[in-house]
Structure 1
Amino acid sequence: MPSSDTLSSTFAALADPTRRAILARLAQGETTVAELSKPFSVSAPAITKHLKVLQRAGLVSQGRQAQWRPCKLEAAPLREAAEWVTQYRQNWEEQLDRMESYLAQLQSR
C-alpha cells in the first residue's frame, strides 16, 4: 500500500484539470514543454509550474536529449492511487450488494 504522502501528492497533482490534461497528452507519448503548452490558453511558464507539480508527485519525468527535453508520463503513482481507490470500491460494491439483497427480501414479503 502506498504511503499517504505519496497518495496526497498524487491526488493534489490530479486535482487540477490542466494537469490532468497534460497527463492525458503524455499518455500518448513523450513531448516537449512547447508542444504541451499549445492547446492551453496559459503561458509557457504556467505550464512549467504545472509540470513541476507533476514531477514532485512523480507523475512526470523530464529527460535530456541534446537540446530537446522530452516530458514523459510516469504511471506508477497513478497505479498506486488506482489500487487505493479499488480497495474502497470493493467495499462500496459489497455494501450495495447487501442492500440490494435486503431490498429484494423486503419486496418478496
Structure 2
Amino acid sequence: LHASIVKTGYESNAYVGNALMDMYTKCATLEDARQLFDKIVYRNRISWNTMIAGYTHKGHIDAASKAFRKMQEEDVEPDVTTWNTMITSYAQSGQCHEALGFFRQMQ
C-alpha cells in the first residue's frame, strides 16, 4: 500500500499521510510513522494528534510531550483531542502532577 502511494506522490499529502501514520502507529513502528510524519509538507492538527497519540499508545510520553510543544511552536493550536490525549496519558502512567499541569495549561 505504502509503495503505491509513494509512486503516485501522495505520501506528502496530509490526508493520505495522516491515514498511513495512523496505521503505522497501530500496526508497525513509531519510526515508520515518524518518517512519514516528517515527509508531510503541511502538517495539520490531525497530523500532530496522530503522532502524539502514537507516542502515548506505545508509552513514549516524553516524546509525545516534545511533539506537543513542537506543535505549538509551529503555530498549530491543540484541540480537545490533543489535550485529552496528553492529560490521559500522564494520568494513566501515574504522573498526576504532569496531568494536572496540562489541565491547567488548557484553561
Answer yes or no: same fold by TM over 0.5: no
Provide the TM-score with structure 1 as the length reference: 0.28
Structure showing the higher helix proportion among its residues: 2
Provide the TM-score with structure 2 as the length reference: 0.29
Q: Who wins on radius of gyration, i.e. which is larger? A: 1
Structure showing the higher strand proportion among its residues: 1
Say which structure, 1 or 2, has more relative contact order (CA 8 Å, 6+ apart).
1
